[in-house]
Amino acid sequence: MYVAALIYVDDVIMVGNNDAKIHDVKRHLNNRFSIKDLGPLKYFLGIEVARTNEGLVLSQQKYMFDILKDSGQHGCRPNPSPMEQNLHLDEAIDSPPVDVAQYRRLIGRLLYLQVTCPDIAFAVNMLSQFLANPCKRHMDSAIRVLRYLKSTPGQGILLPKDGDLSLKDFCDADWSGCSFTRCSRTCYLIFLGEALVPWRTKKQSVVSRSSAEAEYRTMATTVSEILWLCWLLHDHEAAPVGPTPLYCDNNAARQIANNPVFHECTKHVEMDCYFIRERVESNEIEPLYIDTKHQVADICIKALGAERFRFLLGKIGVRDLHAPS
């Protein structure tokens, strides 16, 4: 028997595998705090929950329409992808400035929209670098994200009702992806069964001297997140069995993780090497190679063409509630 409560201020979600026990907990809470039972979960902190034949779809349609309306883009022309392919934004000092407060407000709202939209994670991460001094070129790119959102109003993350509780992870790095700091970008997507649970796109804090180094730093960040998830699942009596596969499309990084001998070229990432190898030797992590064309983390690490972008959307469990069946 299992019952858990997710609490944020005065909003509470109750989950469990025994309806009678859930009702008992609700009754106890009501006696102590006088709660209001709103029935089956439909809306929580701006996140809409829809039940389908496949499972639950989490989306933010109302919040998305509010962003479009407040930005004056409610009637804009839709776009099939959030960012132009292979676009690399820089400080663009030759472009006219824009309203800083307006730009910051828009990017801040898009950051929260990422809760159910991993497909805009790369674009928002890129645009967030220019909050201090945005210009028209940056605002135009942000408007393109809104035009993409206009084309996918009911899109969200699918949490399948079938599947096991095993973890599998995909990580990737965009070596020297930042055009003006030359820092690489880290990205990972972690699946619990077939459900995409956490994902992240973030610029690394140091400059990597090779693509293998950038990928290896990404692997270390991903392993930290995997360990935290494993501990969380263990607390909920659902710990995964066996090593967690970690898919990386860089053979050099994978071989460093499996090689017990340090070389001259790896001294500057020695702590990461020890950290990952320790987890490999304890059979918690298993680094595996995956071909770049099957690397789903690409969707959060670079600006893709529309065809490749739509292909990867289906792979990470993004569904459009209004798409024809």
d(CA 254, CA 290) in angstroms, rounded, equals: 10
Any residues with CB less than 8 A from the CB of 311 and at least 6 apart, and which?
Answer: none
Q: Is residue 49 part of a domain?
A: no
| Residue 324 domain-assigned (yes or no) | no
Q: Are 22 and 134 found together in one domain?
A: no
**Average confidence (pLDDT) over 302-316:** 86
Identify residue 43 by its one-letter amino acid code.
Y
pLDDT digits (tens, 9 = 90+) for 103-156: 999 999 999 998 888 989 999 998 998 888 888 989 999 999 999 998 888 888
Q: What is the DSSP string of 232-246?
A: HHHHTT-PPPSPEEE
**With 0-12 CB in 10 A as exposed, 13-18 as middle and 19+ as buried, what is 101?**
exposed
- Dump pLDDT digits (tens) for 179-215: 777 888 899 999 998 899 889 888 888 888 888 888 8
- Strand partners of residue 17: none
Residue 309 counted as domain residue: no
pLDDT of residue 220: 87
Say what the pLDDT of residue 284 is.
87
Q: How many domains does the chain have?
A: 3
In this structure, of 127-141, 247-261, 274-288, 299-313, the range with the lowest mean pLDDT score is: 247-261
Identify the DSSP state of 249.
S
Q: In this predicted structure, what is the pLDDT of residue 205?
A: 82
8 domain residue, yes or no = yes
Domain endpoint, select from 123, 140, 156: 156
Query: For position 132, what pLDDT does the model report?
Result: 87
Does a structural domain hold residue 226?
A: yes
Burial degree of 180 (CB within 10 A; 0-12, 13-18, 19+) = exposed
Q: Provide the residue range defining the domain that includes 179.
A: 164-290
Q: Are residues 169 and 226 in the same domain?
A: yes
User: For residue 109, what are its two tokens?
Assistant: 């709202």
Percent of the chain residues past pLDDT 70, beyond the cut: 93
Query: What pTM, to 2 d.p., does this model score?
Result: 0.86
At 263 the pLDDT is 53
Examine the domain organization and report whether 219 and 142 are in the same domain: no
